Amino acid sequence: MNEKLGAVINRPTKFLETFENPNPERNYHIRIDTPEFTCLCPKTGQPDFAEIKLDYVPDQQCVELKSLKLYYWSFRDEGHFHEKVTNMIANDLITLLAPRYLKIQAVFNVRGGLYTTIEVEHGHP
């Protein structure tokens, strides 16, 4: 965001904040998509781009939105294979939230004529 009035300077971080699930008595879905994920190819060093789609059923904790944005930002200068980075994000969120269900889809931009998507699921929806 273009915070030109009273701008807040932010930093990428691996630290994910949580808040208490306001309705843990019920199973419900939280879906958060971002088309703004980018990291580097570990072989060539060139940028990769992906849309990350998160869908989870919270137990006691929910992931805080701004910290999730900064967490995604933290991959910007890191080199990762598609399969590995998708599982890393899934593992970080599963460890953080112990959710009743979680799915991560990483839809990578085309490379060499190939369109690649990695989809990781934890538990049952």
Q: Which of residues 72-111 bind a second copy (CB under 8 A)?
A: 73, 76, 81, 83-84, 86-87, 109-111
Q: Is 92 a catalytic residue?
A: no
Say which of 33, 41, 55, 92 is annotated catalytic. Answer: 41
Q: How many residues bind a second copy (CB under 8 A)?
A: 65
Contact pick of 14, 65, 98, 123 for a second copy (by CB under 8 A): 65
Amino acid identity for residue 7 in this structure: A
Identify which of residues 33 and 78 has a Cβ nearer to Ca ion in the complex.
33
Contact pick of 18, 59, 64, 100 for a second copy (by CB under 8 A): 64
Contact 59, 99 (CB under 8 A): yes
**Residue 47 makes contact with a second copy by CB under 8 A:** yes
Identify which of residues 6 and 25 has a Cβ nearer to Ca ion in the complex.
25
Q: Give the β-pairing of 61-63 and 18-20.
A: antiparallel
Amino acid identity for residue 90 in this structure: A
Q: Which of residues 11-30 bind a second copy (CB under 8 A)?
A: 11, 17, 19, 21-23, 26-30
Six-digit token pair at 73?
């930002």
The CA distances from residue 40 to 23, 81, 114, in Å, are 38, 8, 17
DSSP E strands in 58-109: the ranges are 61-63, 101-108
Q: Is 33 a catalytic residue?
A: no
